[in-house]
Amino acid sequence: MRWWTYCAACLALASLPLEAQQTLRIAQLEAFVRSSIELKHQDRQVASYLGRMKLSERLDDARIEEFQGLGAGPKTLEALRALRDASRHLKPPGAPTAVVRRTLEPPPPDEQRKLLEAVREYARNYTRSLPDFICVQVTRRYGDPTGTEAWRSMDTLTTRLTYFEQKESYKLVMVNNQLTDAPYESVGGASSTGEFGSMLNEVFAPDTQTRFHWERWATLRGRRAHVFAYRVARENSKWRISFERRLEIFTAYSGLVYVDAKTGMVLRLSLEAQDIPPDFPIRSASSVLDYDYTNIGDSQFLLPLRAVVRMREGRFLTKNEVEFRLYRKFAADAVITFETPDPLPEEVTEEQPPSQ
């Protein structure tokens, strides 16, 4: 069971490594903007990325108005209008060529069904496939009392995470780079669990009765991926949100699942709370969890890389950026250095437009 907590008292798209300009079709541009809105990427950074694109087809006002209706921010809209002006001389979007149509159209329904069944089996066995290991979990916590995503750093927690016999244990090692013997639970604030399997398992568990549909193609860390949208009804949900450890609810949620087109493994899982009761203090909660291939011993495993957890109480926003670093095989004499590493480059978790 996943548990999210929030304590009121205790309380990022960077430019991708592109060539000078990348040429995109309108369909690719649309997929990118929609994904950025769904994942709540920062407006200024989405705009910065768009500023490094050029189009191979004409972008019109109707399409920009559609993006505005979906929730695109003002800087994103300004960048889109610049692309519109630069593409006025181009032909409007037409029918894709046969090659592009084969690669960007949805897979047949039977293929989608078989893929989901394979991912469901993968999710069911995921935790059993993992080795015993230790790693460093770094949680950078931010708050914003204005509700405008003007983030202020609150603290940085460095934790020893041990995964042994399919169970997680946490030992807080440092707070703001200062050694501590305080228990993990004592730091309060917003926190979450479930990154090492339960989050994935619950989405695909039969009794959750999750409703899936194929959404689009994407590229993530250079890998072509199927993107499935999904929704879980409240009566089937095991996602529990707790407020100051005295109020709690189970909530409906929806999100996206990114599945590696070659391996069938999950590269990203996002979720966002839906239909939160109006009298509950937490008004919104969401998470994006990225997995990446990591060597432990002589074998490679797909393990959590980074999670971004957001919550809102009234206007007050919190954001936890959680990174999982320095994986090592668990052993009595395993050595791990507890120095808080620099944050992962943002481009590591940025979605790119779907490749053809």
Q: What is the C-alpha to C-alpha distance for residues 190 and 169, in angstroms, rounded to an integer?
A: 18
Residues 243, 300: Cα–Cα separation, whole Å: 38
pLDDT digits (tens, 9 = 90+) for 28-52: 888 888 877 877 788 888 888 888 8
Per the model's pLDDT, the better-predicted residue between 238 and 228 turns out to be: 228
Positive/negative CA dihedral, 303, 308, 312, 316:
positive
Lowest-confidence segment of 89-93, 171-175, 347-351 by average pLDDT: 347-351
Residue ranges of domains in the chain: 2-10+120-352, 26-95
Question: Rounded CA gap, 262 and 254, in Å?
Answer: 25
Please report the pLDDT score of residue 191 as a whole number.
Answer: 64
Would you say 72 and 65 are in contact if contact means Cβ atoms under 8 Å apart? no
Task: Say which residue, 306 or 71, is predicted with more confidence.
Answer: 306
Strands 223-232 and 133-144: unpaired
Quick one: pLDDT band at residue 226, thresholds 50, 70, 90?
very high
- Give CA separation, 66 vs 25, 26, 77, 208, in Å: 17, 13, 11, 33
The answer on pLDDT for 195 being more than 70 is: no
Q: Give residue-wise pLDDT tens across range 243-281.
A: 776 788 888 999 999 999 999 999 999 999 998 999 888
CA dihedral (269, 274, 279, 283) positive or negative: positive
Indicate the average pLDDT of the chain.
Answer: 82
Give the DSSP letter of residue 83: H
Q: Is the dihedral of CA 36, 37, 42, 48 positive or negative?
A: positive
Mean pLDDT computed over 8-22: 39
Q: Calculate what percentage of the chain has a pLDDT beyond 90.
A: 31
pLDDT per residue as tens digits for the range 112-127: 999 999 999 998 888 8
Give residue for tokens 């916590």: 141
Say what the pLDDT of residue 338 is: 66
